Amino acid sequence: MERLEVKNLNHSFGFTKILQNINFTLDKGEVLAIVGPSGGGKTTLLHLCANLLDVEEGSVTNTFLSSAFAFQEPRLLPWKNVIDNIAIGLLAKGEKKNEAVKKSQDIALRFGLDKEDFEKFPKDLSGGMKQRVSFARALVVKPSLLFLDEPFSALDIGLKKELQSILIDMISKKEISILFITHDLMEAIRLSDEMLLLKADPGHIVKKFRFDVLQNQRDDKYVYGKSAEILQDNEIINTFELELK
Ligand X SMILES: Nc1ncnc2c1ncn2[C@@H]1O[C@H](COP(=O)(O)OP(=O)(O)O)[C@@H](O)[C@H]1O
Residue 131 engages Mg ion in binding (rule: CB under 5 A): no
Distance CA 7, CA 57 (A): 9
204 is a contact residue toward ligand X (CB under 6 A): no
Q: For ligand X, which is the closer residue by CB, 43 or 85?
A: 43
Binding mask 38-77 for ligand X (x = CB under 6 A): xxxxxxx---------------------------------
Q: Which is nearer to ligand X, 15 or 79 (CB)?
A: 15
Q: In what order do the strands lie in the sheet with 57-62?
A: 16-27, 3-13, 57-62
Q: Which of residues 16-35 bind ligand X (CB under 6 A)?
A: 18
- Cα gap 100→211, rounded to integer Å: 37
Closest CB to ligand X among 75 and 174?
75
Helix (H, G, I), strand (E, B) or coil at 175: coil
Nearest distance from C-beta of residue 101 to ligand X, angstroms: 35
Q: Assess contact for 184 and 152: CB atoms under 8 A.
A: yes
- Tell me if 239 contacts ligand X by CB under 6 A: no
Residue 151 as a binder of ligand X (CB under 6 A): the answer is no
Question: What's the sign of the alpha-carbon dihedral 121, 77, 188, 231?
Answer: negative
Rule CB under 5 A: choose which of 43, 67, 81, 164 binds Mg ion: 43
Reading phi first (left if > 0) and then psi (alpha if -120 to 50, else beta), residue 241 is in: left
Site mask for ligand X (CB under 6 A), range 89-118, x = bound: ------------------------------
Phi, psi of 88 (to 5 degrees): -50, -50
CA distances to 12, 115, 122, 161, 235 from 187, rounded to whole Å, are 28, 30, 27, 10, 18
Site for ligand X (CB under 6 A): which residue of 7, 8, 13, 242? Answer: 13
Residue numbers at the binding site for Mg ion (CB under 5 A) = 42-43
**Residue numbers at the binding site for ligand X (CB under 6 A):** 13, 18, 36, 38-44
